[in-house]
């Protein structure tokens, strides 16, 4: 590998026959797909057969860092996990911050491809380039925090751990992979933890001693210094930042109320703001590896991760709950046992609406009164989901499958896109989000389109284009391509969002694509420019689309649940607005160069260097 930033090696572990090999990463792959999600998509497209079930041995579970991971580049302490999702049956990807990705690079690997299935519980131990498959029988049933603690005792205090809890072991279809124990840096979405469980892989413990080399260290350092914000490490400053973001969220009406059915939950906004105040006063900001700023979504108290917006809303207002102690308990259950808070909240609130509508009763729910606002019921059912016990086994399938099991038209309460439950940003509040949810290859994802302007992400600014259906298709397509670049570099999206960074001075807008291009070149020695990177982003996005087409997905999946296009809210600045999704999708296909039915034209495929001849 001529490029720096990469280690030049991928680790491949076949858990069926126990073989482990280090595979060289080609320069061509690095140029075409960068790293992170790009490389993962290329590998999945190349190796996964169209009919492969997510729980088949042939479905790979891929952990992939980027060329900036582990370098001196700020906000680069992240990695991607990709697979075919057991929740949706299509392309799946998730991201985690923390320290694990940096440690994998330090051990000498850019990524890990895991195939096969072990016949007994195992964990993967990586100490520099010494890799072994170890027995994990004694870890079975342990939560992610206990697992990390035990592995640090067994493998050395400095080891970094990615682990599943009992939810992953029990194949809960929205199980997550938790990194760094109590810090709970979570690869949450698309059921990546269930695929890990299906392989009988409890954990990956990694430690490395090498530094990641970069091509032009001095110039890179100078460029970073010039771009870094002034840092203000003052609790009042942090409180101001956090208050601004969370006030915008609640005033915007982005959170679901009672399974997206209602418009307002009295007292919820005040409870959120008081929770945030307590974060700043009683917790401490957490910083992922190499992160200079921390962010309003990362707080720890006594080493335990505190509520984030994607727990506060799905496990809170979406389930009719405003008691933040209860929501924190629910978040802790999700992190300990390893499930995605968004899908957990989406599935539980679905069940609550089924219960309140009489489709299910206490006879079905093991005696639990699963009503909106019943925090004790939510906590009890969460535990049952993780254990796949009683009615929990039904909900462990996710909202779409649970609706099919319940029957009687329960689908009308299952709020999802492509089978993936909806995050805490109401698509009725913004055309950009509505179209991004409808067209993301994973389903409803709020981070799939990086920003409307590409250079400099200002969420506050997005309010000005909230109802603009004409500009949304081009902005979403461009934002999705750029997100593919950020996710291939495995760079944190908050690098572009100074407003959400705790320690950066007020007014810092975040870095822009200019820094991204420059830092990639200085770190690796590549000669990319913004145009070539955006072309790579477009190729990666289209490749994910091709993987889905090959698995039988069609344009009927590119839409929103009927609740979002027929039921108006009566609260907030987006009240009375319904996004014109069908029209925007048609324009979006045209801009993407796809057929009217969502298939890719041969011309577009040729332009991107992709082949569609065997895509079905």
100 near ligand SF4, rule: CB under 6 A = no
Stretch that binds ligand SF4, among 18-26, 157-165, 210-218, 291-299 (CB under 6 A): 291-299
242 near ligand SF4, rule: CB under 6 A = no
- How big is the chain, counted in residues? 616
Stretch that binds ligand SF4, among 284-292, 465-473, 479-487, 505-513 (CB under 6 A): 284-292
126 near ligand SF4, rule: CB under 6 A = no
Query: 373-394 burial string, b = 16+ CB within 10 Å, else e?
Result: bbbebbbbbbebbbbbebbbbb
The neighbouring-strand residues paired with 206 are 126, 160
Of 38, 97, 116, 191, the residue at the interface with ligand SF4 (CB under 6 A) is 97
Stretch that binds ligand SF4, among 285-293, 355-363, 564-572, 573-581 (CB under 6 A): 285-293
Of 380, 492, 516, 536, the residue at the interface with ligand SF4 (CB under 6 A) is 492
Angle, CA 574 vertex, CA 571 and CA 579 arms, to 5°: 130
Chain centroid to CA 210: how far? 28
Phi, psi of 448 (to 5 degrees): -80, -20
Stretch that binds ligand SF4, among 190-198, 280-288, 332-340, 442-450 (CB under 6 A): 280-288
DSSP string covering 310-373? HHHTTTTGGGT---HHHHHHHHHHHHHHTB-HHHHHHHHHHHHHHHHTTSS-TTTTTT----TT
294 near ligand SF4, rule: CB under 6 A = yes
Q: Report how far residue 258's alpha carbon sits from residue 348's, in angstroms, rounded to the nearest whole number.
A: 10
Shortest Cβ 194–ligand SF4 spacing (Å): 24
Q: Report how far residue 594's alpha carbon sits from residue 596's, in angstroms, rounded to the nearest whole number.
A: 7
Inter-residue contact 8 to 23 (CB < 8 Å)? no
Q: Report how far residue 452's alpha carbon sits from residue 171's, in angstroms, rounded to the nearest whole number.
A: 37
298 near ligand SF4, rule: CB under 6 A = yes
Query: Under rule CB under 6 A, which residues in 426-455 are in contact with ligand SF4?
Result: none
260 near ligand SF4, rule: CB under 6 A = no
> x/- contact string, 22-61, with ligand SF4 (CB under 6 A)?
----------------------------------------
167 near ligand SF4, rule: CB under 6 A = no
70 near ligand SF4, rule: CB under 6 A = no
Q: Report how far residue 152's alpha carbon sits from residue 159's, in angstroms, rounded to the nearest whole number.
A: 6
SS3 455: coil
Q: Max alpha carbon distance in the chain (Å)? A: 67
Inter-residue contact 442 to 90 (CB < 8 Å)? yes
| Closest CB to ligand SF4 among residues 374, 512 | 512
287 near ligand SF4, rule: CB under 6 A = yes
Inter-residue contact 307 to 335 (CB < 8 Å)? no
| Closest CB to ligand SF4 among residues 77, 197 | 77
Phi, psi of 146 (to 5 degrees): -65, -40
Stretch that binds ligand SF4, among 227-235, 294-302, 346-354, 371-379 (CB under 6 A): 294-302
194 near ligand SF4, rule: CB under 6 A = no
Shortest Cβ 459–ligand SF4 spacing (Å): 14
Shortest Cβ 310–ligand SF4 spacing (Å): 12
Q: If we measure between CA atoms, which residue out of 385, 383, 357, 384 comes closest to residue 371?
A: 357
494 near ligand SF4, rule: CB under 6 A = yes
Stretch that binds ligand SF4, among 6-14, 261-269, 286-294, 319-327 (CB under 6 A): 286-294
The residues, any chain, with a CB within 8 Å of residue 500's CB and separated by 6 or more, are 241, 245, 295, 296, 297, 459, 494
Shortest Cβ 291–ligand SF4 spacing (Å): 3
Q: Which residue has the tokens 């124990």?
A: 181
80 near ligand SF4, rule: CB under 6 A = no
What are the residues binding ligand SF4 (CB under 6 A)?
75, 77, 97, 286-288, 291, 293-295, 298, 492, 494, 501
């Amino acid at each position: 590998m001529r490029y720096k930033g990469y280690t030049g090696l991928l680790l491949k572990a076949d858990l069926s026959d126990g073989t482990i090999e280090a595979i060289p990463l080609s320069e061509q792959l690095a140029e075409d797909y960068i790293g992170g999600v790009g490389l993962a998509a290329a590998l999945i497209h190349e190796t996964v057969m169209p009919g492969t079930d997510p729980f088949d041995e042939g479905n790979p579970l891929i952990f992939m860092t980027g060329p900036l991971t582990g370098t001196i580049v700020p906000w680069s302490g992240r990695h991607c996990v990709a697979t075919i999702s057991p929740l949706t049956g299509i392309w799946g990807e998730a991201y985690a911050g923390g320290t694990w990705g940096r440690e994998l690079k330090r051990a000498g690997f850019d990524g890990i491809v895991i195939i096969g299935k072990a016949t007994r519980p195992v964990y993967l131990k990586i100490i520099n380039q010494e890799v072994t498959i170890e027995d994990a029988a004694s870890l079975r049933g342990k939560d992610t925090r206990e697992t990390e603690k035990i592995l640090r005792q067994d493998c050395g205090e400095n080891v970094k751990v990615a682990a599943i809890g009992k939810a992953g072991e029990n194949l809960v279809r929205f199980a997550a992979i938790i990194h760094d124990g109590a810090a709970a840096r979570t690869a949450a979405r698309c059921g990546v933890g269930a695929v890990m469980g299906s392989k009988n892989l409890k954990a990956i413990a990694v430690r490395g001693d090498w530094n990641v080399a970069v091509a032009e260290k001095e110039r890179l350092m100078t460029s970073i210094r010039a771009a870094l914000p002034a840092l203000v490490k003052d609790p009042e400053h942090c409180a101001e930042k956090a208050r601004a973001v969370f006030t915008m969220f609640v005033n915007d009406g982005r959170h679901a109320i009672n399974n997206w059915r209602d418009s307002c939950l009295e007292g919820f906004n005040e409870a959120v703001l008081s929770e945030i105040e307590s974060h700043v006063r009683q917790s401490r900001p957490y910083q992922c590896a190499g992160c200079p700023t921390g962010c309003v979504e990362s707080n720890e108290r006594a080493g335990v991760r505190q509520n984030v917006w994607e727990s506060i809303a799905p496990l809170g207002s979406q389930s009719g709950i405003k008691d933040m102690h209860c929501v924190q308990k629910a978040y802790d259950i999700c992190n300990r046992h390893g499930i995605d808070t968004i899908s957990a909240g989406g599935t539980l609130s679905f069940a609550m609406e089924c219960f309140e509508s009489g489709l299910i009763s206490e006879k079905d729910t093991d005696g639990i009164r699963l009503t909106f606002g019943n925090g004790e019921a939510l906590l009890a059912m969460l535990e049952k989901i993780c254990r796949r016990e009683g009615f929990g086994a039904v909900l462990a399938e996710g909202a779409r499958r649970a609706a099919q099991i319940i029957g009687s038209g329960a689908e009308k309460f299952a709020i999802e896109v492509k089978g993936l439950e909806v995050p805490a940003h109401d698509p009725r509040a913004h055309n950009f989000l509505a179209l991004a949810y409808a067209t993301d290859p994973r389903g409803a994802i709020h981070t799939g389109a990086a920003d409307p302007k590409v250079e400099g992400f200002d969420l506050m600014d997005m309010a000005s284009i909230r109802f603009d259906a004409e500009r949304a298709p081009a902005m979403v397509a461009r934002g999705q391509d750029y997100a593919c670049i950020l996710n291939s570099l495995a760079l944190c999206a908050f690098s572009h969002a100074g407003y959400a960074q705790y320690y950066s001075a007020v007014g810092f807008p975040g870095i822009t694509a200019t820094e991204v291009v420059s830092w990639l070149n200085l770190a690796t020695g590549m000669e990319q420019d913004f145009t070539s990177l955006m072309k790579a982003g477009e190729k990666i996005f289209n490749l994910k689309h091709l993987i889905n087409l090959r698995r039988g997905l069609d344009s009927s999946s590119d839409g929103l649940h009927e609740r979002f296009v027929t039921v108006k809210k009566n609260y907030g600045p987006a009240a009375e607005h319904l996004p014109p999704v069908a029209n925007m999708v048609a324009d979006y296909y045209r801009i993407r160069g796809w057929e009217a039915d969502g298939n890719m034209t041969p011309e577009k495929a040729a332009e991107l260097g992709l082949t569609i001849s065997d895509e079905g």
